[in-house]
């Protein structure tokens, strides 16, 4: 199974500052035939289904503010939230869909 390890577990940022979340995979999630990393980032707020922010490691989902960005390849990935807003308070998960069982990181709680 592919294990995803996020850091940090929690993060307190000031409004308008930058938040950076890292995700390290135990195996590469780069799909060579498609030239894509099968790694996504989700935002999860209580009482709601998770919301996908990023897929293919760096492609922003339609409608997601451009202050959210993803980077990385292979086994190391980063989600960056620039200019953090109050509504960004949530738990963020990285997720690999390269191989079953699909897995998630343990989550990073972002607070203001």
Partner 1 sequence: EVQLVQSGSEVKKPGTTLRISCRISGYNFNDYYLHWVRQAPGKGLEWVGLIDPADAERKNAEKFRGRVTLTADTSTDTAYLGLRSLRSDDTAFYYCVRVGGSIGFDHWGQGTLVTVSS
Give the residues lining the site for partner 1 (CB under 8 A).
31, 34, 36, 38, 40, 42, 44, 49-50, 52, 55-56, 59, 91, 93, 95, 97, 100-107
For 17, other C-beta atoms within 10 Å of its C-beta total: 12
Considering the complex, state which of residue 50 and residue 75 has its C-beta at the smaller distance from partner 1. Answer: 50
Distances (CA, A) of 38 to 13, 80, 98, 111: 28, 18, 5, 27
Find the shortest distance in angstroms from Cβ 73 to partner 1. Answer: 16
Considering the complex, state which of residue 50 and residue 67 has its C-beta at the smaller distance from partner 1. Answer: 50
Find the shortest distance in angstroms from Cβ 55 to partner 1. Answer: 5
Q: In residues, how long is the chain? A: 112
Find the shortest distance in angstroms from Cβ 95 to partner 1. Answer: 7
Considering the complex, state which of residue 55 and residue 88 has its C-beta at the smaller distance from partner 1. Answer: 55
The helix/strand count (H/E) of the chain reads as: 0, 13
User: What is the radius of gyration, based on Cα positions, of the chain?
Assistant: 13
Considering the complex, state which of residue 67 and residue 104 has its C-beta at the smaller distance from partner 1. Answer: 104
User: For strand 108-111 and strand 10-12, is the pairing parallel, antiparallel, or unpaired?
Assistant: parallel
């Amino acid at each position: 199974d592919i294990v995803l390890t996020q850091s940090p577990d929690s993060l307190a940022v000031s409004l308008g500052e930058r938040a950076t979340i890292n995700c390290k995979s135990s195996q590469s999630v780069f799909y060579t035939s498609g030239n894509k990393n099968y790694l996504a980032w989700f935002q999860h707020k209580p009482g709601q289904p998770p919301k996908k922010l990023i897929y293919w490691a760096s492609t922003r989902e339609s409608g997601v503010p451009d202050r959210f960005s993803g980077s990385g390849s292979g086994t190391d990935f980063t989600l960056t939230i620039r200019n953090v807003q109050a509504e960004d308070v949530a738990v963020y998960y990285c997720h690999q869909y390269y191989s079953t069982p699909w897995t998630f990181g343990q989550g990073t709680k972002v607070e203001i």
